Structure 1
C-alpha cells in the first residue's frame, strides 16, 4: 500500500511569491482551525500584537539569534509592555502572554527530524506546515491550545535566501 503524504511535501513546480503579511494570516487561520478542532474558541488577530511579534522577528534576523530572550535580555513581557498600557488606555491590555517561535524555509528543500524532505511553495503550505511543526512540540502545542488566550499576533521576516523567522504572540487573562 502506498504511503499517503501531505500536499506540502510536493517538491516540484515553482513557488508562489512570498508575502509575509499573507503568510502571517495563513498561520492565524491554521491556528484557529486547530483550536476549533479541539473545542476551543478562535483567537482574534490584533495588528498591534502582530507588530510586537514582527519587531521580534526583525530583531532575531538582525542580531543573528533565534530565541524568546533577546541578547539584551528582553522577553515577551518586556516587548509587550513597551506597546501596551494600563487600564483605561486605548492600547491593548492583557494579564497573561505567551510566545511561539519558528525558524522555517520557503521555496527551499528542508530535511525534517524524521528524514522527510519538504519544500513549501505556497503560503497555505507554509502556514499549515509551521503550525503542524508547533503541534509536534509539547510546549508549542500547549501554547496554541491554552484556553485563556483571547488574541494573537504573528510576525514574519524572510531572512537570507529562503530562511523565514516566525514569532507568534498570545495574549489573554489568567484563568
Structure 2
C-alpha cells in the first residue's frame, strides 16, 4: 500500500443531489466523517463536481499504473478548477493497494500527518471520492477536499 497527500491549495453550490456512491466510496466517506466527528468537526458533504474529479483521477492513475498527484500536466487544484468548482481551498489524498483494502488505506492516511491534516482540516466542507481498479487488480484511491470561495 502506498499513500500520497497533496498540499492544501488555497465552489458551485453543493450539487450532490442524486449522486450515487459506490459501496467503496460510501465506506471511505463514512470513515472520513467518523474521524471528523471524533474531533468535533462538521461532516464533509459529497459534492458532485469533486466526485467527478476524484473518480476521473483514480481512473487515470489506474489506467497509467501511476500514483501521482500530477498527471497529464495537471495538479489537483487545476483539475478542480477545470471541472468548475470555484474553490477557496482544495486538497487531495491518494493511495494505491494490491486489491481492495479500504480500512487499511484509511488507517494509513490517518497515520500520515499530511493525509490526516487533509481529512481533519476544519475549513474543508465538501468531498469527492474515487476508487478505480486496473486489470492487474491494483486499486487506486482519491479523496478531493474542498471549500468553496466566498461569494462577494
Pick from 99, 106, 110 the counterpart of residue 92 of structure 2. 99
TM-score computed with the length of structure 2 as normaliser? 0.78
Q: What's the counterpart of residue 82 of structure 1?
A: 82
SS of 2:91's partner is: strand
Cα separation, 1, equivalents of 2:82 and 2:148 = 18
CA contact (8 A) 1:27 1:130 kept: no
- Runs (4+) of structure 1 exceeding 4 A deviation are none
CA contact (8 A) 1:30 1:127 kept: no
Q: What's the counterpart of residue 156 of structure 1?
A: 131
Within 5 Å, which residues of 2 pair with 1:31-46?
A: 31-46=32-47
Cα separation, 2, equivalents of 1:34 and 1:172 = 18
Give the aligned CA root-mean-square deviation in angstroms: 1.8
Q: What's the counterpart of residue 58 of structure 1?
A: 59
SS of 2:131's partner is: strand
SS of 2:87's partner is: coil
Question: How many Å apart are 1:173 and its aligned residue?
Answer: 5.2
Within 5 Å, which residues of 2 pair with 1:1-175?
A: 21-70=22-71, 72-84=72-84, 92-106=85-99, 126-172=101-147
Question: How many Å apart are 1:127 and its aligned residue?
Answer: 3.2
More strand by share: 2
Aligned residue pairs: how many? 129
CA contact (8 A) 2:128 2:144 kept: yes
Any idea what the Cα deviations from partners look like across 1:30-83, whole Å, max 9, x if unmatched? Answer: 00000100111110011221110111111112223111011x320011111111
Any gaps of 5 or more consecutive residues in structure 1? Answer: 1-19, 85-91, 107-119, 121-125
